[in-house]
Amino acid sequence: METKTLTKQPQKSGQKVDKRFKILEVTMKRNHYRQDALIEILHKAQEAFGYLEPDVLEYVAHALKLPLSRVYGVATFYHLFSLKPSGKHTCVVCLGTACYVKGSDKILAALQQELGIKSGETTADKQISLLSARCLGACGIAPAVVFDGEVTGKQTAENVLEKIKNWQQHGEP
Ligand code: FES
């Protein structure tokens, strides 16, 4: 299993950059940082992250020069957007093409079966939220899964189930 720790925010040159933020940056640039492209940009952000976490909403608000309240307003108004899920832990499985062809659908299926929930749901004990994304920008280490914000690659159903069991048994990150 290969692990890649990526920082949450874009960094200066020479430092590691979370590729999911790069995807977001490219989308905003393509839209010329237009405020009226907010919905499209949030949509892309959700595809990359699986859900809209506070860091992402702040990043978008800052880049588009919009009040954070407006970005939150849009993100909470439309049902197609999900804000940070309620589970203590979050697990996001990438279902983008590169990951899918390497079996990420089987990883998601194994998780759904083990946890008894579907993607987009949280376990009844509020321990784990399960989500999917459509390309984390880490195709080189496909199939990729994000555990509590940490992008990990070359995953298998066995590895992922083991990680989940640790969370369940020890509450470990
Ligand atoms: S398709 Fe999964 S990281 Fe790109």
Q: Is the CB of 93 under 6 A from ligand 1?
A: no
Nearest atom (ligand 1) to Cα of 143: 2
Strands in 145-147's sheet, in edge-to-edge order, are 2-3, 150-153, 145-147, 89-94, 128-133
Sequence-distant (6+) residues with CB within 8 A of 25 are 10, 63
Q: What are phi and psi of 122, to 5 degrees?
A: -120, 140
For residue 138 and ligand 1, the question of a CB distance below 6 A is answered with yes
Amino acid in the structure at residue 100: Y
Q: pLDDT at residue 7 above 90?
A: no
- Looking at residue 8, its pLDDT comes to 46
Domain ranges of the chain: 13-77, 89-170
Over 70: is that where the pLDDT of 157 sits?
yes
With 0-12 / 13-18 / 19 or more C-beta atoms within 10 angstroms meaning exposed / middle / buried, residue 66 is middle
As its CATH architecture, domain 89-170 has: 3-Layer(aba) Sandwich (3.40)
- The 10s digit of each residue's pLDDT in 17-68 is 688 999 999 999 999 999 999 999 999 999 999 899 888 999 999 999 999 9
Q: What is the pLDDT of residues 94-112, one digit of tens each?
A: 999 999 999 999 999 999 9
